[in-house]
Amino acid sequence: MNRHLVLKTLAIGLLVLLLLVPLALIQGTIEERASYRMQVQQEVAATHAGAQVVAGPVLVLPYLETTTTVAQARRDGEPAISTRSEQRTVLVFPAELAVEGDVQVELRRRGIHQAPVWRAKALTFTGRFEAPAPPPAPPPSPGTTVTRVAGEPYVVFSVSDLRGFVATPSIELGGERVPFEPRAAPPFDGPAVRARVDPKLLAAGGAVAFTLHADLAGTRELSFVPLGDETRVALRSNWPHPSFGGRFLPLEREVGDAGFSARWSVPAIATQARASLAAGREAQGERARTPAPAVMDGFGVRLIDPVDIYAQATRATKYGVLFVVLTFGAFWLFEALRRVPIHPVQYGFVGAALAIFFLLLLALSEHLPFGVAYGLAATACILLIGVYLSAVLGGPRLAAGFCAGLAGLHGALYSVIRLEDTALLVGTLLLFSALACAMLASRRIDWTRFGLAPVQPGG
C-alpha cells in the first residue's frame, strides 16, 4: 500500500471535516438573520395590523326561549313548576354576497428589512338577506309550555384584527346607514363588530338588500370566509407577487409587473364554513365554541417576497461541502497528473476562501440584489484563489485554469439555487459529470506510486 497516498488522503479528509465547522457557523448566522427579519415583520404587524381573515356579514336573530313545566302536585296541594330560559339565535346567511376591493400595498422598513402592508380603502360587500321563517316550535308535551320572546336583531361582521379598521365600517339596510359597534357578537368567538337592525325591515318579509363599506388594513395576507349562497370576490392590487391560497383558488387571475387582479366564486355547497359557524350556536342548553374564522374554509391572497435571500443563501450553503470536495479533488488529480506537490496547508487556505464565499454572499445580499451579491462574492473569492494559486502552482496559466473551473462551479451552483422543481435533477447531473471527468482523467494513473519519484529507465 502506498503510505504517502494514505497519509495524503487522511490529511485532506481531515481538512474537509474541519471546514464543516465554519460552514455550520455560517448556516447558523443565516438562520439568525432570517429570524431577525421575521421579528421585524412581526413588530410591523404589531404596530400596524396583522393578517386579516374576513367573515360576514351575517344576520343574527336572537330570541329568548322559556320552557315552563308543571309537575305533579306536591303534598301541600300546590303544583311543582319549573322554568328554564335559554338564549338562542337564528343565523341568516347572505343569499348573495359579492365583495370588491382595491388592495394597495406599501413597504414598511425597519433597518435593512422590510414588510409589505396593505390597505383596502373601499372594500365593499353587497348582497341580500332572505327573511327567515320563524323556527319551528318543539313538539308539545303534557304539562310543558314553551314561549319565545324575540330580541334585537343585528348584523355581525368579523375580522382577525380590529386594529385594521382605518374608519368605522357601516352597512346600509333598507336605505338606512347603520355604523358598526365593537361589541361582543355571537356566533363569532373572536374579534367582531355588530350593527343593529330595525325589526320593521324583517317584519315585512321578503329580501333585505345590504351594502357594507369598510376601510381595512393589514399585513401580508387578506382572506375571506365564504358564507353566502354564492360568494364572489374580486380583488385588484398593485403588488406584483401574489400567492393565492386557502381552500379555493381564483377562477381568473392576471399577474403582471403593475400588480394583479383575481376573481373567486364559491357556492355554499362546496364549503363547510356555514356548518362550522353554526356549530357555535347554543345547542341543547350548552354553548359550543365557535371556530375562529382563520380555521374555517377560506381563500385569499398572500403578499410574498419572490427573492428570499435567506432561503437562497441556505440552499447555497448546503452545497458548501460539495464545493470543497470538488475543489480538493481537482487539486489531487492535478498532483497526480502534473506531479506538482500541494501541501495540506495550501489545501486549507483554498478551502477557507471557499467557505468565506458563503458568508460574503450573505452579507452582500442584505444590501444588494441577490444576483449582484452572488456575482461580487464569487468574483472576489475566485480572484483571491487565483492570485494565491499562481504562486503555488508556479505560474498564472495553471491558476487561470483552476479559476475557470471554479467560475464554472459557481455558475452551476447559482443555476441550481435559482431552480425549484428541477434543482435535484440538475444537481445530480452536475455531480455525475464531475465524477465522470475525474474517472476519465485519472484512468491511467498508477495510484500505487502516487507521490513517489518516477522510475528511471534502466534503474
Of 58-72, 82-96, 306-320, 415-429, where does mean pLDDT reach its minimum?
Answer: 415-429
Cell, residue 38:
421575521
Distance in angstroms (rounded) separating the CA atoms of residues 130 and 134:
12
The DSSP secondary-structure symbol of 453 reads: P
H or E element in which residue 47 lies: helix 3-47
Report the DSSP beta bridge partners of residue 222.
52, 301
Closest by Cα among 116, 144, 121, 148 to 135:
148
Q: What proportion of the chain, given as a percentage, has pLDDT over 90? A: 20
Residue 77: the pLDDT is 59
Residue 74: the pLDDT is 56
What is the chain's percent helix, strand, coil content, to nearest 5? 40, 35, 25
Tens-place pLDDT, residues 268-287: 899 888 888 877 544 433 34
The domain segmentation of the chain, as residue ranges, is 3-38+309-449, 51-72+80-303
67-106 residues labelled b (16+ CB within 10 A) or e (exposed):
beeeeeeeeeeeeeeeeeeeebbbbbbbebbbbbbbbbbe
430-452 residues labelled b (16+ CB within 10 A) or e (exposed):
beeebeeeeeeeeeeeeeeebee
Flag whether pLDDT at 319 surpasses 70: yes
User: In terms of pLDDT, which residue wins out, 430 or 381?
Assistant: 381
Residue 22: the pLDDT is 86
369-387 residues labelled b (16+ CB within 10 A) or e (exposed):
ebeebbbebbeebbebbbe
136-160 residues labelled b (16+ CB within 10 A) or e (exposed):
eeeeeeeeeeeeeeeeebbbbbbbb
Closest by Cα among 202, 1, 236, 217 to 101:
236
Report the DSSP beta bridge partners of residue 265.
232
Distance in angstroms (rounded) separating the CA atoms of residues 293 and 295:
5
Residues 6+ apart with CB under 8 A from 330: 402, 405
Burial class of residue 127, CB neighbours in 10 A (0-12, 13-18, 19+): buried
Averaged pLDDT for residues 363-375: 88
Q: Give the residue carrying C-alpha cell 385588484.
A: 236
Q: What are phi and psi of 171, to 5 degrees?
A: -135, 140
